[in-house]
Amino acid sequence: MLAVPRWSSSPSVRRLAWPVLGALLALLSVVETATDEAFDYPLATSLPGVAVGAVVALGVRRPGPAAVAGALSVLGNYALGTPGPGGAQLIGMAVLVGHAAAVLPVTRGVRAAALATAVVVGAGLVLGPSTWESVFYLVVSGTAYAVGALVRRSRERARELQVLAARLTEQQEAVAAAATTAERARIAREVHDSVAHAVSVMVLQMGGLRRLLPDHPEAQEVLLGLERLGRESVDEMRRVVGILRESPGGDPAPQPSLSRLDAVLAELRAGGMPVELAVTGEPAELPQLVDVSAVRVVQEALSNVVRHAGAAATRVEVAWSPGRVTVTVTDDGRPRVEPVPHAPGGHGQLHMRERVAVAGGDLDVGPVRGGGYRVRAGFPVPVVSAPAAVGA
């Protein structure tokens, strides 16, 4: 059972549309017969037109049979002695054929229209006074079918557009969610690389200050508590960073750069960590992504030294060669202070690998023979870049 086309958004109007149209066609058939002065047919000859109006009013929920039933009404015209359907009746028959073409699948619509047309044309050829009546109805039926097919195609396209719109909305939501997740991951990396490093340096400096005050147990107790609080803060920050990474959301500070690497190392030296910087080769201008990634790798490697090796003696090397820059952080594995306990679930090495991969470089981490640990990251450098100073 097929629904009537929705010409109006109001359900009450849709329910009344076809009955009103059928009643109007039936009334017009009666009026047409009653006012026809040329042939002066009796009023009974309007019955086929009234029957078509009734089919329109009641039979549109079965479009195929309704179209054929409307076509069969011409037999009543010939039986009552008229040359064929009147104008209102012909309009009703065309509406039924067009409706079948509009709401039925293509094959069934063609079948219903062809059968209805064959009934009228065959009856006209056998019973009609002239073959032109059949030819005329063939044209009317073909036009009605074409209009109905156009309506059906328009409705199909409207449904396709609705589906495409729904898919586009889903894709937009997916893209927005992916962008939010990527931004959260970026923020997590920045928090981990900058804040964790800074807090680790603070803990290291407080440890160095505590060793300089052996005759002040009260001050040592306070500093020891601050060290403990700093370590706990690093652990908690790492847990928060883990949540931020996994969840599906003034003037900016200057970006880190290899040209300011010595300032980063000075903070660690002030805390008592022996750090040596060695630069070899001819420095070059770096893309910002490579520059920031290289510094972040150094910072993370140094933070790992504080956490795991207790501020062991460390050497930072920046090696420049044509088309490449390599940063290496190596510690001797001999603690100078108590190591900062490692927080479970840390993302330090994962962050380094992500940064290096995005910048198109490679990362090698592992223990050194004889003790210690080494982190080495290599990045591509545009050969045509201008020189830039490093250190200082």
Mean pLDDT of the chain: 76
To the question of pTM greater than 0.75 for the whole model, the response is no
- The reply to whether 112 and 194 lie within a common domain is no
In a domain, 156, yes or no: no
Q: Write down which residue in 89, 112, 129 finishes a domain.
A: 129
Q: Write down which residue in 69, 98, 129 finishes a domain.
A: 129
Residue pLDDT, tens place only, 359-376: 888 999 988 887 888 999
**C-alpha to C-alpha distances, 290 to 21, 25, 73, 375, nearest whole angstrom:** 75, 80, 84, 16
- The reply to whether 194 and 335 lie within a common domain is yes
Tokens 């992504």 correspond to: 289
Q: How many domains does the chain have?
A: 2
Strand ranges of the sheet holding 275-280, from the earlier edge strand across to the other edge: 275-280, 314-321, 324-331, 373-380, 362-367
Pick from 118-132, 241-255, 350-364: least confident: 241-255
Q: Write down which residue in 97, 129, 161 finishes a domain.
A: 129
Residue pLDDT, tens place only, 15-61: 788 888 878 888 887 887 788 766 677 877 778 878 888 888 886 77
- The reply to whether 189 and 117 lie within a common domain is no
User: How far is residue 45's CA from residue 35's CA, in Å, rounded to a whole number?
Assistant: 12
Cα dihedral sign for 318, 336, 269, 354? positive
Q: What is the average pLDDT across 188-207?
A: 66
Examine the pLDDT at 271 and tell me if it is beyond 80.
no
Domain enclosing residue 213, as ranges: 178-249+253-380
- What CATH number should be reported for the domain holding residue 215? 3.30.565.10
- The reply to whether 238 and 373 lie within a common domain is yes
- The reply to whether 16 and 95 lie within a common domain is yes
Cα dihedral sign for 68, 70, 71, 73? positive
- The reply to whether 182 and 122 lie within a common domain is no
Is there a contact between 91 and 26 (Cβ–Cβ < 8 Å)? no
Query: DSSP secondary-structure letter at 196?
Result: I
Look at phi and psi of residue 85 and say left if phi exceeds 0, alpha if psi is from -120 to 50, else beta.
Answer: beta
Residue pLDDT, tens place only, 327-370: 999 988 777 665 555 444 445 677 788 778 878 889 999 888 87
- The reply to whether 228 and 91 lie within a common domain is no
67: CB partners within 8 A, 6+ apart: 96, 97, 99, 100, 112, 113, 115, 116
In a domain, 142, yes or no: no
- The reply to whether 224 and 369 lie within a common domain is yes
